[in-house]
């Protein structure tokens, strides 16, 4: 009876132990007759790899996958190769008002609803595009460069910290609902702001303060 090969968890199957007989490593003591039953060397349930780090879309599900490492040695695995569900795995970002309350020319004000499209793992927010009370849209002149009327987003990036973006043009002060778009990074499980390509952890729409009208 030979010593069991990888991927077993013991050198010999219970109740045998490693020994040398006639100069050969074997598991013994040897049975008196070959009619004695032999114990399987396969570990219970087989040996699985770790689940993949990222998610992928399979059969309308967002899943992580794993593979049976012991199958090539004749030891099948029990259980499923995938884990997941039909929801996009990225959790919605938080409100940047707590982490980035102020930014040059503005302050965090409105936490817009985060609309997730689960089948594509994309999302958007509808940017407020009016000045009925708070100043959501303004015409700025920065570094001698004129800007049209624009809405203002505060973004808390995973690696870059608090920053901002003039998220959308206000065609007119009280018209339209421009959007800011995001895509789930299925490996880091952060949302990526499509305009900059940066992973974010929080956002907020700002209102203008100390702005310079044209």
Measured distance CA(35)–CA(171) in Å, rounded: 88
- Check residue 18 and give its pLDDT: 79
> Which residues fall within 8 angstroms of residue 48, CB to CB, at 6 or more apart?
66, 67, 68, 69, 77, 79
Domain locations in the chain as residue ranges:
1-31, 42-86, 94-208
Whether the upstream peptide bond of residue 7 has omega within 30° of 0, thus cis, is: yes
- Write the CA distances from 128 to 10, 99, 165, 203, integer angstroms: 65, 21, 14, 14
- Check residue 187 and give its pLDDT: 94
- Check residue 45 and give its pLDDT: 92
Strands (E), 118-160: 122-126, 137-142, 145-157
- Check residue 60 and give its pLDDT: 93
The CA radius of gyration of the chain, in Å to the nearest whole number, is 30
- Check residue 1 and give its pLDDT: 47
- Check residue 131 and give its pLDDT: 84
Inter-residue contact 201 to 100 (CB < 8 Å) = no
- Check residue 214 and give its pLDDT: 41
- Check residue 54 and give its pLDDT: 92
Neighbours of 152 (CB within 10 A): 27
E strand or H helix at 57: strand 56-58
DSSP 72: G
Q: Which of 7, 8, 30 is nearest to 19 (CA)?
A: 30
Block means of pLDDT (10 residues each) for the chain, 214 residues, are 52 72 72 57 90 93 95 92 95 94 87 96 92 83 67 93 86 70 96 96 89 47
Measured distance CA(78)–CA(168) in Å, rounded: 52
The label of the residue with tokens 């090539």 reads: 72
pTM reported for the whole predicted model:
0.73
């Amino acid at each position: 009876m030979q010593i069991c090969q990888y991927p077993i968890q013991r050198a010999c199957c219970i109740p045998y132990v490693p020994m040398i007989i006639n100069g050969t490593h074997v598991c013994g003591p040897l049975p008196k007759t070959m009619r004695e039953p032999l114990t399987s060397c396969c570990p219970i349930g087989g040996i699985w790899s770790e689940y993949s780090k990222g998610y992928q879309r399979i059969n309308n599900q967002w899943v992580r996958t794993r593979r049976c490492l012991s199958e090539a040695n004749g030891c099948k695995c029990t259980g499923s190769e995938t884990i997941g569900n039909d929801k996009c795995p990225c959790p919605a970002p938080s409100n940047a008002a707590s982490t980035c309350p102020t930014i040059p020319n503005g302050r965090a004000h409105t936490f817009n609803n985060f609309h997730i499209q689960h089948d594509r793992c994309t999302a958007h927010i509808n940017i407020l595009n009016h000045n009925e009370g708070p100043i959501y849209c303004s015409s700025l002149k920065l570094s001698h460069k004129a800007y049209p009327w624009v809405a203002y987003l505060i973004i808390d990036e995973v690696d870059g910290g608090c920053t901002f973006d003039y998220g959308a043009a206000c065609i007119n002060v009280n018209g339209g609902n421009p959007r800011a778009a995001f895509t789930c990074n299925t490996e880091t499980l952060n949302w990526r702001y499509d305009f900059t390509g940066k992973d974010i952890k929080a956002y907020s729409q700002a209102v203008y303060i100390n702005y310079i009208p044209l």
